[in-house]
Amino acid sequence: MIELKQLRYLLAAADAGSFSRAARLLNIKQATLSRQIGHIEKRLGMPLFDRSLRGAKLTKNGEFYIRSVERLVTEFDELNSWVRATCCGMTGHLTVGFHTSFSAGNLRATVTEFGDKHPDVKMRGVERERKRLLGGLENRTLDLAVMAGEIFYAGLRARPFWSERILVALPEQHDLAERERITWPDLAGEHFLLGGVDKLVTVGFRACSLAS
């Protein structure tokens, strides 16, 4: 049986053109390298190198065999790299559910940064209502979900990504417009303008930090 390590020795000798030079590069004894290559030749039933005082040169059969060895070792290394990358989360597919639009802000920046750091991970974003996101996590159609607020759902774990201030826009003449911080009770009885309109006119408004 020919081992992968022996094939690597064979490649090193072919590249170096000398058993002694290849042994130094591999940090092994020349006798060890010669013995391992001799084992391959014995298993194949043919010499792969013409040995001389000037070095070791591949035979015609050796040149043909080494091309197959190069492909085999390269494919093995690529397969190992893929397995390691997959196990470490460096490659693969990731389906992320969102409870809110990620076209801007911290969420958008986080997704962009992840894509830059892990270009081999194919990410797919799905925007759904909160209940459907939790269901997607439970039935494993989603790998993770990002949503606002605290999550209390059996069998799921949650961790905070970031926190944001809430801003309220007020007319300049409003009694609360001069305050740097206001609380929810201060807004009792006020009318709120929510999303869903085509355009919001904000000229003459001020943004104040809203204390939680």
Q: Does domain 4-87 have CATH number 1.10.10.10?
A: yes
What pLDDT does residue 152 have? 73
Domain regions of the chain by residue span: 4-87, 92-146, 166-210
Give residue 177's pLDDT. 85
Residue 211 has pLDDT above 50, yes or no: no
More confident residue, 58 or 151: 58
What long-range pairs does 163-166 form, CB within 8 A, spacing at least 24? 164/105, 164/106, 165/209, 165/210, 166/210, 166/212
pLDDT, mean of residues 95-114? 74
Q: What is the CATH number of domain 92-146?
A: 3.40.190.10
- Give the tens place of pLDDT for each residue, 6-42: 999 999 999 999 999 999 999 999 999 999 999 999 9
CB 55 within 8 A of CB 17: yes
Tens-digit pLDDT profile for residues 63-74: 999 999 999 998
State pLDDT tens for residues 81-99: 767 766 666 667 788 888 7
Which residue did the predictor score with more confidence, 103 or 70? 70
Interacting residues of 184 by C-beta distance below 8 A, sequence separation 6+: 210, 212
